[in-house]
């Protein structure tokens, strides 16, 4: 089938930039105060524990060299840090490699640009080496030195085409060995891996293996994925998510306006985003479609495909009573795996694939109940369900047209109700859309440009500090850039251990990994959606955020789901430390007996409560 | 099935505008100098002849009251017009009705806004009445008075949802009667119809009928259609075309970037635009995809589906020799009707539909060759071809997935070549997209906002001048607004008469109509595409115009296909008149014999040449 590694000449070829692209190429993001100038201070915090308390032991065992390292914060020279562990003032020459791993996400190029700028600002003899064609290029030592000239056409531009990407993993023993060979052959001080949950898990594993093997290359991860599902106490959002949601919201809003103008169609729109429904949630908050069916809701309520169909039909009927025969329904691509019986059917099919059963024989080897469901489904969906699963063991989500399945089931049911006389409105008409690939290569929003560029700088400081197995982080993102806080977090502290899993994912049981984060059904973004959902459903209060703007109104907006959450986890940890200091200051020898008594009693109860909440058994219930 | 007319309460309901929408709502387009102030001069030109010289007799016969009226130009008070026919200085009170007819196109609301502003500026007692739910509202007298408040949420906004739209025609005797009743009952001085070729043909017919019936309501048409296919010597482009091309080009460019980043897929993208390929041509000039297959090229070269498949396969093979396994192919939705054998098959199917043959029996009643082709096609395409044709007698173009058909045929052929060893590259993988409804409701571009708003003003001046059966026109659009020229053209002068037609369209033979304009294969826009097509094919010089901007770089851009053409037809007519005047001035009694002799000889040859070129037989070859 030919070589899977493209030749160097394919990349970075002369491009014709449009006027807007040219203007974007000249835009330079600001840096937060902590990163300005060449003297950046590193402040180390406590050793980070895993959020998954129950799994901490397993994680520490699997990552003896890289688990339990402290958090790091990067602060400007002028910051008031009495006990700073180190002040970096003599920048050494470094050789750094960088690779795109996983699906292209708008803003990826800016991570490389930020990293390059930081490296060169500290020592112009340092080198940044890009791997061509993703991890395949890393394994095969296909490189391209990053220069000002190479970067010039890619600053603030979409895609991953400056370097390209291929496969999404560094996992097998051969792959890890090949990566180590490359790092040693090229004498790399560090390797920066740009990607999502899977790539960052791989980065942590690589860091551990390098440490174990006394390979001096440090591994750094960067949270870049358009799905927005790499999200935890340290990572508020990922690079690309804002752009994807803006481009999709614009299209959804256009469709809403279209529906309202023509008044004769229901649009069923499936959105990319893999298993989690972050993109669908954000787009719903931006555009106010009539309905959005989040996979997390469906999974939590254990809704069947019939329950969902009925819900939509009831909505169509309620709208018809207001003489409305149009509407817009958002469907995340991960929905299909959230519907219990479809998921179970998919698991059976994947199991048979793994056993080597030929695709055309699978339907005859299904269990009776799975077979009954399978036969009930329309033929096009059957074909799609039979497709081989993707590299990360999930179904080929983007290939399964759940929107068409639901539209057809709803149409059948509405026709039935019409015949039976329980529905007296006009005929139900649906048009289906899949908004996938058309957003992925978009010009990144200002927010994604800024965030990615700053993350690139942070990577340099992680490398300069000699840290291994860390992810670059920027927090307090909902505030302006001059309030952003830059840090580094051991990737292992973002890991959890799955103790049970449905179906084919059993191979992952017991292995620590950075897992994708679902939409938090207790979070503020979801709450905001639910507060408005009946208005959205019946009142057509469609809102159009418009095309992504780079100047003027709208250019500075950020994801609503980012802005409504109390993120700034690190800020709140600091706040807690201030309280503890305050208690110390108040309760010193010389204070009254009453004050001491009150303090003892209060702190005893606080510590007892926190001990209970942090016990493995409790955490196990809450997070797994 | 319930009433097809929506209730008033559905329209103009409270909307939540995003910050960008709010900022757009505050934008006010400039007026060209000719329309500024309240005193606008009308200058009448010669009686307009139909471009279709051969059909002129038929047209004049069908439109005895409205054919042969003069062109009108609107000029500011200060313009130097020695022989102006009329200077309007006493603005009368007018009652005007306005209706959306046909598919929603971005900018439609601004026509109403411009008309409203002009009406109120001239006499605050005048009234503008909108018809709710399109032409159905016109027939049923469902109205809503346009006020400042009603407009406030719709200025510079997309969609047609301020009034809504339903059916696309005013054609049957009952419909025309109902429209006349409404105009008389509401005592309308004028009715403004906003739409494309069909709606403007209907407007001309209505104008003629009203004149014949001594109904005093004047009818005015406005060129608004996203397909860009209402285009002739008087109409340079239509409202909505720019926006649609910008939104689609952005998405196409994103997909190009995606293709180049992942390097493993060919994207087949079908674009809306009805029978003509104007949208596909403009998007190709904006985004530089690898291929675009214009329906007009296919029709002109009489390419079969197999020829097109082979062309694409050869391109895939040529690219594989450069180690490229990705690409982007644009396919206009009208392509299917441009492919001779598919068109003939569609005609047979429509013929059987008309005879009342049930859909499930059609395939068995096809002629042998049509049946052979039908059986060759993949099942999903067969089903789509069997769908009932739309209201304008064309196939349900948006329902036929030509992109999937071509992708499948190309895949089959590439697999065959791979097996035979004539192709040695990697497996061909295609992903299909249809970019249709997601652009139609978009926020209109600045250009469309400006153009539509000015057209609305022009409508008022047409009404004030008491003209009937005219279309509002603005020319010299590629220049800045202060160079735009405003006029009015009898719709009949844009008509042609089809003397032959394939298949089901025989009913249109001999009837004058404004026909949709195909892409001009001798035009400069097409030439530009062809000059670059081999570079586009092999070099991946993808260009991303970016998301539609309202401020900063890119906000002022206009369609490339508009800017490269020598439009300004009226300007050139003026230039000719200046030459004629100059000859008159030079060749006066007293000039030398030689000068007279030279002038006579030259003018004799010019007039003879033009007489030959204008003869019906010659024109018949050139334009039909």
Q: Please state, in angstroms and rounded to a whole number, the distance separating the CA atoms of residues A49 and A99.
A: 28
Contact: A104, B262; criterion CB under 8 Å: yes
Sheet holding B266-271, edge to edge: B291-292, B327-332, B266-271, B430-435
Contact: A14, B541; criterion CB under 8 Å: yes
pLDDT range class, residue B1, cuts 50, 70, 90? very low
CB A469 within 8 A of CB A69: yes
pLDDT range class, residue B622, cuts 50, 70, 90? very low
| Partner-chain residue, chosen from B257, B260, B544, that has the shortest CB–CB distance to A18 | B544
Contact: B547, A24; criterion CB under 8 Å: no
Q: Which of A409, A442, A423, A417 is nearest to A293 (CA)?
A: A409
pLDDT range class, residue A189, cuts 50, 70, 90? very high
Residue A614 placed within a domain:
no
CA angle A55, A59, A61 (to 5 degrees): 120
pLDDT range class, residue A506, cuts 50, 70, 90? low
Q: Please state, in angstroms and rounded to a whole number, the distance separating the CA atoms of residues B178 and B184.
A: 10
pLDDT range class, residue A620, cuts 50, 70, 90? very low
Q: What is the DSSP letter of A18?
A: -
Shared domain check, B308 and B372: yes
DSSP string, A555-593: TT---HHHHSS---HHHHHHHHHHHHHHHHHHSSTTS-H
Contact: A544, B443; criterion CB under 8 Å: yes
Give Dmax (Cα) for chain B: 85
Q: Which of A417, A418, A423 is nearest to A320 (CA)?
A: A423
Question: CB-based burial of residue B521 (10 Å sphere; 0-12 exposed, 13-18 middle, 19+ buried)?
Answer: middle
Other Cβ atoms closer than 10 A to B390 = 14
pLDDT score of B618: 56
Domain count, chain B: 3
Which residue, chain included where needed, has tokens 């890393």?
A: A138
| Partner-chain residue, chosen from A15, A254, A263, that has the shortest CB–CB distance to B441 | A254
Cα–Cα distances (Å) from B584 to B595, B598, B605, in that order, read 12, 13, 17
Q: What does the mean pLDDT of chain B come to?
A: 87
> How large a percentage of chain A has pLDDT more than 70?
90
Question: How distant is the Cα of A592 from the closest Cα of chain B, in angstroms?
Answer: 56
Shared domain check, A246 and A232: no
pLDDT score of A96: 98
pLDDT digits (tens, 9 = 90+) for B204-261: 999 999 999 999 999 999 999 999 999 998 999 999 999 999 999 999 999 999 999 8
Chain A environment of B554 (Cβ under 8 Å): 18-20, 23
Chain A environment of B267 (Cβ under 8 Å): 437
Q: What is the DSSP letter of B18?
A: P
Residue A621 placed within a domain:
no
Q: How many residues does chain B have?
A: 624
Contact: B442, A547; criterion CB under 8 Å: yes
Question: CB-based burial of residue B60 (10 Å sphere; 0-12 exposed, 13-18 middle, 19+ buried)?
Answer: middle
Token digits of residue A63: 């990552």
More reliable by pLDDT, A316 or B3: A316
CB B229 within 8 A of CB B516: yes
Shared domain check, B127 and B66: yes
pLDDT score of A83: 47
- Pick from A35-49, A451-465, B305-319, B510-524: least confident: A35-49
pLDDT digits (tens, 9 = 90+) for B382-423: 888 887 665 444 546 677 889 999 999 999 999 999 999 999
Chain A environment of B440 (Cβ under 8 Å): 254, 258
pLDDT score of A26: 95
Shared domain check, B451 and B434: no
**A72 phi, psi to nearest 5 deg:** -130, 145
Shared domain check, B196 and B58: yes
pLDDT score of B507: 58
In this predicted structure, the answer to whether residue B515 has a pLDDT above a threshold of 60 is yes
Interface test with B, best of A262, A316, A329, A396 (most B CBs within 10 A): A262
CB B270 within 8 A of CB B433: yes
pLDDT digits (tens, 9 = 90+) for B65-95: 999 999 999 987 654 545 444 555 568 899 9
Chain A environment of B250 (Cβ under 8 Å): 442, 547
pLDDT range class, residue B6, cuts 50, 70, 90? very low
Shared domain check, B598 and B540: no
pLDDT digits (tens, 9 = 90+) for B439-485: 999 999 999 999 999 999 999 999 999 999 999 999 999 999 999 99
Q: Which residues pair with A143 in a beta bridge?
A: A131
Q: Please state, in angstroms and rounded to a whole number, the distance separating the CA atoms of residues A235 and A485.
A: 12
B322: closest chain A residue by CA: A10
Contact: B438, A433; criterion CB under 8 Å: yes
Q: Which of B131, B261, B223, B253 is nearest to B475 (CA)?
A: B223
Shared domain check, B180 and B313: no
Chain A environment of B262 (Cβ under 8 Å): 103-104, 160, 165
Residue A26 placed within a domain:
no
List Cβ neighbours of B619 (8 Å cut-off, separation of 6 or more).
B52, B53, B54, B613
CA angle A127, A129, A132 (to 5 degrees): 170
Strand A470-475 and strand A327-332: the pairing is unpaired
Q: Please state, in angstroms and rounded to a whole number, the distance separating the CA atoms of residues A116 and B116.
A: 56
pLDDT score of B320: 96
Residue B336 placed within a domain:
yes
Other Cβ atoms closer than 10 A to B506 = 11
Inter-chain contacts counted by CB atoms under 8 A, chains A and B: 243
Question: How distant is the Cα of B467 from the closest Cα of chain A, in angstroms?
Answer: 30
Chain A environment of B542 (Cβ under 8 Å): 15-16
* Section A469-496 average pLDDT: 94
* Section A88-99 average pLDDT: 86
Chain A environment of B247 (Cβ under 8 Å): 254, 547
Contact: A254, B425; criterion CB under 8 Å: no
Shared domain check, A228 and A132: yes
> How large a percentage of chain A has pLDDT more than 90?
61
* Section A475-493 average pLDDT: 94
pLDDT range class, residue A199, cuts 50, 70, 90? very high
Q: Which of A162, A6, A164 is nearest to B322 (CA)?
A: A6
pLDDT score of B77: 66
pLDDT score of B384: 83
Torsion from C-alpha of A537, A275, A370, A347, nearest 10 degrees: -170
Q: What is the CATH number of the domain that holds A234?
A: 3.40.50.450
List Cβ neighbours of A266 (8 Å cut-off, separation of 6 or more).
A259, A316, A326, A327, A328, A329, A407, A410, A428, A429, A430, A431
pLDDT range class, residue A38, cuts 50, 70, 90? low
Shared domain check, B307 and B175: no
Give the helix/strand (H/E) hosting A446: helix A446-464
Question: How distant is the Cα of A541 from the closest Cα of chain B, in angstroms?
Answer: 6
Question: How distant is the Cα of B515 from the closest Cα of chain A, in angstroms?
Answer: 24
Other Cβ atoms closer than 10 A to A17 = 16
Q: What does the mean pLDDT of chain A come to?
A: 87
Rg of chain A on CA atoms, in Å: 26
In this predicted structure, the answer to whether residue A277 has a pLDDT above a threshold of 60 is yes
Half-sphere exposure of B436 (CA within 13 A, CB side): 24
Other Cβ atoms closer than 10 A to B186 = 17
Shared domain check, A165 and A60: yes
| Partner-chain residue, chosen from B10, B20, B320, that has the shortest CB–CB distance to A554 | B20
Question: How distant is the Cα of A119 from the closest Cα of chain B, in angstroms?
Answer: 25
pLDDT digits (tens, 9 = 90+) for A289-313: 999 999 999 999 999 999 999 999 9
Q: How far apart are the first and last CA of chain A?
A: 42
Q: Which of A442, A435, A95 is nearest to A241 (CA)?
A: A442
**A561 phi, psi to nearest 5 deg:** -65, -25
pLDDT range class, residue A593, cuts 50, 70, 90? confident
pLDDT score of B118: 95
Q: Please state, in angstroms and rounded to a whole number, the distance separating the CA atoms of residues A560 and A242.
A: 9
Q: Please state, in angstroms and rounded to a whole number, the distance separating the CA atoms of residues B362 and A190.
A: 68
Other Cβ atoms closer than 10 A to B263 = 23
Shared domain check, B229 and B104: yes
More reliable by pLDDT, A48 or B508: A48
pLDDT score of A390: 57
DSSP string, A149-213: HHHHTTTT--SSTTT--------SHHHHHHHHHHHHHTT-SEEEEEESHHHHHHHHHHHHHHHHT
Strand locations in B382-540, DSSP E? Answer: 430-435, 470-475, 485-490, 496-497, 512-513
Contact: A541, B160; criterion CB under 8 Å: no
Residue B610 placed within a domain:
no
pLDDT range class, residue A616, cuts 50, 70, 90? low
Contact: A541, B14; criterion CB under 8 Å: yes
| Partner-chain residue, chosen from A13, A160, A324, that has the shortest CB–CB distance to B261 | A160
In this predicted structure, the answer to whether residue A1 has a pLDDT above a threshold of 50 is no
> How large a percentage of chain B has pLDDT more than 90?
61
Residue B624 placed within a domain:
no
Residue A552 placed within a domain:
yes
Other Cβ atoms closer than 10 A to B573 = 14
Chain A environment of B261 (Cβ under 8 Å): 104, 159-161, 164-165, 441
pLDDT range class, residue B123, cuts 50, 70, 90? very high
| Partner-chain residue, chosen from B1, B256, B433, that has the shortest CB–CB distance to A427 | B1
Q: According to the per-residue pLDDT averaged within each range, which of A12-16, B264-268, B446-450 is highest?
A: B446-450
- Pick from A380-389, B173-182, B426-435: least confident: A380-389
pLDDT digits (tens, 9 = 90+) for A396-410: 667 788 999 999 999
Counts for chain A of helices (H) and strands (E), in that order: 24, 16
List Cβ neighbours of B363 (8 Å cut-off, separation of 6 or more).
B371, B374, B375, B382, B386
Interface test with A, best of B26, B257, B535 (most A CBs within 10 A): B257
Chain B environment of A320 (Cβ under 8 Å): 2
- Pick from A77-91, A246-260, B495-509, B549-563: least confident: A77-91
Q: Tell whether the torsion through CA atoms of A438, A441, A442 and A446 is positive or negative.
A: positive
pLDDT score of A77: 66
CB B455 within 8 A of CB B111: yes
Contact: B553, A426; criterion CB under 8 Å: no
In this predicted structure, the answer to whether residue A448 has a pLDDT above a threshold of 80 is yes
pLDDT digits (tens, 9 = 90+) for B355-387: 888 888 888 899 988 898 898 888 888 888 887
A265: closest chain B residue by CA: B437
pLDDT digits (tens, 9 = 90+) for A129-169: 999 999 999 999 999 999 999 999 999 999 999 998 876 78
Residue B125 placed within a domain:
yes
Token digits of residue A576: 């807690």
Contact: A549, B554; criterion CB under 8 Å: no
Q: Please state, in angstroms and rounded to a whole number, the distance separating the CA atoms of residues B137 and B121.
A: 27
Chain B environment of A547 (Cβ under 8 Å): 247, 250, 442-443, 547-549
- Pick from A66-70, A151-155, A596-600: least confident: A596-600
Give the helix/strand (H/E) hosting B362: helix B359-362
Its domain, for residue A408, covers 241-439+520-564
Q: What is the CATH number of the domain that holds B247?
A: 3.40.50.460
Q: Please state, in angstroms and rounded to a whole number, the distance separating the CA atoms of residues A208 and A219.
A: 9
Shared domain check, B419 and B488: no
pLDDT score of A501: 56
pLDDT range class, residue B501, cuts 50, 70, 90? low
Interface test with A, best of B441, B449, B532, B535 (most A CBs within 10 A): B441
Question: How distant is the Cα of A20 from the closest Cα of chain B, in angstroms?
Answer: 5
Interface test with A, best of B6, B437, B542, B556 (most A CBs within 10 A): B437
Q: Please state, in angstroms and rounded to a whole number, the distance separating the CA atoms of residues A529 and A526.
A: 5
Contact: A547, B549; criterion CB under 8 Å: yes
Q: What is the DSSP letter of A51?
A: S
């Amino acid at each position: 089938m030919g070589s899977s590694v493209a030749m160097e000449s394919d990349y970075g070829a002369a491009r014709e930039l449009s006027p807007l692209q040219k203007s974007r190429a000249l835009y330079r993001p600001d840096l937060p105060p902590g990163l300005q100038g060449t003297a950046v201070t590193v402040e180390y915090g406590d050793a980070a524990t895993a959020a998954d308390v129950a799994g901490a032991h397993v994680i520490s065992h699997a990552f003896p060299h890289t688990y339990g390292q402290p958090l790091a914060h990067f602060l400007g020279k002028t910051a008031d840090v009495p006990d700073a562990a180190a002040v970096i003032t003599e920048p050494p020459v470094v050789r750094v490699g960088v690779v795109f791993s996983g699906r292209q996400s708008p803003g990826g190029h800016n991570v490389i640009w930020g990293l390059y700028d930081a490296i060169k600002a500290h020592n112009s003899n340092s080198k940044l080496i890009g791997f061509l064609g993703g991890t395949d290029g890393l394994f095969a030592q296909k490189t391209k030195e990053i220069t000002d000239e190479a970067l010039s056409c890619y600053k603030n531009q979409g895609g991953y085409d400056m370097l390209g990407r291929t496969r999404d993993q560094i996992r097998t023993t051969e792959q890890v060995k090949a990566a180590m060979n490359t790092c040693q052959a090229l004498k790399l001080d560090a390797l920066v891996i740009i990607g999502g949950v899977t790539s960052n898990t791989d980065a942590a594993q690589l860091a551990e293996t390098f440490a174990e093997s006394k390979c001096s290359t440090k591994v750094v991860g960067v949270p870049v994925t358009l799905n927005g599902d790499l999200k935890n106490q340290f990572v508020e959002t990922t690079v690309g998510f804002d752009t994807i949601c803006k481009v999709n919201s614009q299209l959804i809003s256009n469709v809403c306006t279209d529906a309202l103008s023509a008044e004769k169609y229901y649009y069923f729109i499936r959105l990319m985003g893999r298993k989690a429904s972050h993109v669908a949630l954000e787009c719903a908050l931006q555009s106010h479609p009539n309905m959005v069916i989040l996979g997390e809701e469906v999974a939590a309520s254990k809704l069947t495909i019939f329950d969902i169909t009925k819900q939509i039909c009831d909505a169509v009927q309620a709208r018809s009573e207001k003489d409305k025969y149009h509407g817009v329904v958002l469907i995340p691509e991960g929905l299909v795996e959230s519907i219990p019986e479809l998921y179970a059917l998919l698991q059976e099919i994947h199991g048979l694939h793994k056993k080597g059963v030929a695709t055309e024989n699978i339907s005859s080897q299904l269990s009776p109940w799975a077979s009954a469901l399978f036969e009930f489904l329309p033929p096009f969906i059957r074909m799609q369900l039979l497709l081989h699963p993707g590299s990360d063991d999930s179904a080929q989500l983007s290939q399964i047209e759940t929107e068409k399945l639901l539209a057809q089931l709803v149409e059948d049911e509405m026709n039935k109700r019409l015949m039976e006389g329980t529905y007296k409105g006009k005929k139900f008409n649906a048009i289906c859309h899949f908004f996938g690939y058309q957003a992925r290569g978009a010009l990144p929003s200002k927010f994604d440009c800024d965030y990615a560029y700053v993350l690139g700088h942070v990577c340099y400081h992680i490398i300069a500090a000699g840290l291994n197995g860390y992810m670059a982080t920027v927090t307090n993102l909902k505030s302006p850039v001059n309030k952003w806080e830059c840090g580094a977090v051991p990737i292992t502290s973002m890991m959890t251990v799955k103790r049970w899993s449905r179906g084919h994912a059993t191979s992952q049981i017991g292995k620590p990994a950075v897992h994708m984060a679902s939409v938090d059904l207790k979070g503020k973004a979801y709450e905001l959606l639910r507060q408005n959902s009946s208005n959205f459903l019946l009142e057509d209060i469609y809102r159009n955020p418009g095309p992504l703007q780079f100047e003027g109104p709208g250019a500075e907006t950020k994801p609503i789901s980012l802005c409504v959450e109390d993120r700034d986890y690190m800020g709140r940890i600091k706040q807690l430390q201030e309280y503890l200091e305050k208690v110390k200051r108040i309760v010193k020898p010389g204070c009254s007996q009453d004050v001491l008594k009150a303090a003892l009693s209060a702190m005893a109860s606080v510590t007892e409560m926190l001990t209970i909440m942090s016990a493995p058994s409790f955490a196990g219930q809450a997070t797994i």
